[in-house]
Amino acid sequence: MKKFIKKEQESRPANQIGVRVANTGTIIRFRGPRSAVDALVAKCEAFLVQEKEDEKERGFTLEFEFPQKFANHLIGKGGSNIRDLREKFDVDIQVHDGKVELKGPKAKADMAKVHILALGRQLQDETTHILKIDPKFHRELIGAQGAQINRLQTRYKVLIFFPRTAKPTKDDESVAEAGSETGKPRRLQNPDEVIVRGPKKGADEARDEILSLLQYLRDNSFTATISVQQKQVPSLIGSGGAVLDQLRQTTGAKIDIPGARDSPDGLIEIQIKGTKTQVAAAKKLLEEKKAVFDDTVTKTIEVDRKYHKTIIGAGGKFFIPKQTLSIKYANKSRL
């Protein structure tokens, strides 16, 4: 009766005031709005009548076959699935030697049988795909905190397992947790294996979408690096990042320039990522800029002050201290 009342209270409309229920021995007291109390009392009385009738049939037994290979799934981890089914259908359930025995009221036993046989048919249709995927793509396939894979599991009603890492991240834990409720032991996975398990149609579609995403990642995961002098970085970035943004827009590649503190030797490793064509185009442009910069030298010569005006020209804006002149040539051969 307590379980029944709790269920009824939880299913009431959100805008309806609940009924306070208390009991002393065999006496149950209801308190609340008259309409809500009357309705709940009527349901409880009907429930008691049905329960009394059911008690007369507690000796009824129903037995049927169930595939032994799926018995562990039916039972669940630590018997959790069986406990839920007993609670749901109010019958005793025993599983042994490829058979299921139900004991309880006939109507409830029949409903439990329909549910269990449907589960058996679903498990018979189960398919497992083992995909060979380079571990370097696992994190992107999983998505932030498992969002990508959880979306696929929900959409296709399947379970997807990635191999556990030595130091699991939140993403690894969220995906691994999805398989903990299946009642099936996890198969040992190689570092490059991803397992998709579920109804055949859903498993096939989930597999195809994962492989499609994998191909996209492969096509867009070409990389290259270029070493440039640290003092060239400001000219590659430009004011407010304008030059770097233009390079990215022109080539479509991702270009990452690390900070100066990451290069104690005075060289900066620029990382490029994208499709093969994008990476090649970005690398070519950066190499051209690097060649020009590397080919630029500074030469200092002494010039008599009386020639400064002539060299600077009318309206010149340069200031040349200590009778020296700095001239930069873009081509060393001109020196």
282-293 tens-digit pLDDT: 999 999 998 888
Q: What is the pLDDT of residue 52?
A: 82
Confidence bin at 261 (pLDDT 50/70/90): low
Mean pLDDT across 39-53: 88
Model confidence at 265, pLDDT cuts 50, 70, 90, reads low
| Residue 259 clears pLDDT 80, i.e. is over it | no
Q: Which residue has the higher pLDDT, 165 or 237?
A: 237
Look at 176 and 264; give whichever has higher pLDDT.
264
Burial class (CB in 10 A: 0-12, 13-18, 19+), 328: exposed
Q: What is the rounded end-to-end Cα distance, in angstroms, of the chain?
A: 101
User: Is there a contact between 99 and 63 (Cβ–Cβ < 8 Å)?
Assistant: yes
How many Å is the Cα radius of gyration of the chain?
Answer: 37
Instruction: Provide mean pLDDT across the span 303-324.
Output: 65
Those residues with Cβ within 8 angstroms of residue 129's Cβ, 6 or more apart along the chain or in another chain = 195, 196, 197, 203, 204, 207
- The CA distance from 198 to 153, in Å, is 9
SS3 assignment, position 40: helix
Average pLDDT of the chain, as a whole number: 83
Query: Could you read off the pLDDT of 102-143 as tens digits, one per residue?
Result: 998 888 899 999 999 998 888 888 899 999 999 999 999 999
Beta pairing, strands 92-96 & 222-229? unpaired
pLDDT > 90 fraction of the chain, expressed in percent and rounded: 34
Q: Which amino acid is at 178?
A: A
Domains recognised in the chain with CATH numbers? 2-55 (no CATH), 61-124 (3.30.1370.10), 127-219 (3.30.1370.10), 222-294 (3.30.1370.10), 298-334 (no CATH)
Residue with tokens 């995961």: 221
Mean pLDDT value of segment 204-232: 91
Is the pLDDT assigned to residue 317 strictly greater than 80?
no
Q: What does the pLDDT look like over 146-185, one tens digit per residue?
A: 999 999 999 998 999 999 864 445 555 445 444 434 444 4
Section 331-335 average pLDDT: 43
Q: Does the pLDDT value for residue 310 go beyond 90?
A: no
